[in-house]
Amino acid sequence: MDIYRRLQELGLELPKAAKPLASYEPAIVYQNIIFTSGQLPMVNQELKYQGKLGKDIELEEGKEAARICLLNALAAMQLAIGDLNKIEKIIKVTGFVSSSPDFFSQAAVVEGASALLLDIFQEKGKHARSAVGVAVLPNNASVEVEIIASLQI
């Protein structure tokens, strides 16, 4: 299965990889594992969906933010490895959700990223996951997602 063809079938386009906000790389390859830095819901170099889930952001907006983060993570991977078809298996997704004290649906927010990974990578997209509620994220982002995947060697 060609990942780029699959993205096209789903009507998705990878964004240009976001520029790092500090002294780090968007993605790093070590042996046959690629790790992304946490990706925010950046669209055209602007942060979308700022604020806390349960206060400023609705659940569906949080899921959309997670999907945007995921596409940004794939763009970071592509920048690092040149071709997303080199991805053998998605191993782990970690999602951080800026949450009000009474918001308990972090897993539902991060499901936006997980479901999209399964749509894109199908069987290779099945992964372990953590969904973590946090008090605040960089630049008041609502969601941050990072991915770990294995590469074909």
Residue 22 is predicted with a pLDDT of 83
Q: Residue 66: give its domain's CATH number.
A: 3.30.1330.40
Residue 17 is predicted with a pLDDT of 87
Domain membership flag for residue 91? yes
Q: Which of 151, 87, 146 is nearest to 122 (CA)?
A: 87
Domain membership flag for residue 19? no
Q: How far apart are CA 119 and CA 99, in angstroms?
A: 27
Query: Residue 132's beta-bridge partner residues?
Result: 96
Residue 32 is predicted with a pLDDT of 97
Domain membership flag for residue 56? yes
Domain membership flag for residue 134? yes
Q: Is the dihedral of CA 50, 55, 56, 62 positive or negative?
A: positive
**One-character DSSP codes across 43-60:** ETTEE-SBS-BTTTB-HH
Instruction: Give the up-direction half-sphere exposure of residue 27: CA atoms within 13 A in the CB hemisphere.
Output: 28
Domain membership flag for residue 124? yes
Structure tokens at 114: 């997980």
Residue 153 is predicted with a pLDDT of 76
Residue 21 is predicted with a pLDDT of 73
Work out how many domains the chain is built from and give that number: 1
Residue 26 is predicted with a pLDDT of 95
Full-model pTM: 0.96
Residue 137 is predicted with a pLDDT of 97
Domain with 102 in it: 3-11+29-151
Q: What is the mean pLDDT of each run of 10 residues along the chain (153 residues)?
A: 95 88 91 97 94 97 98 97 97 98 98 98 98 97 98 89
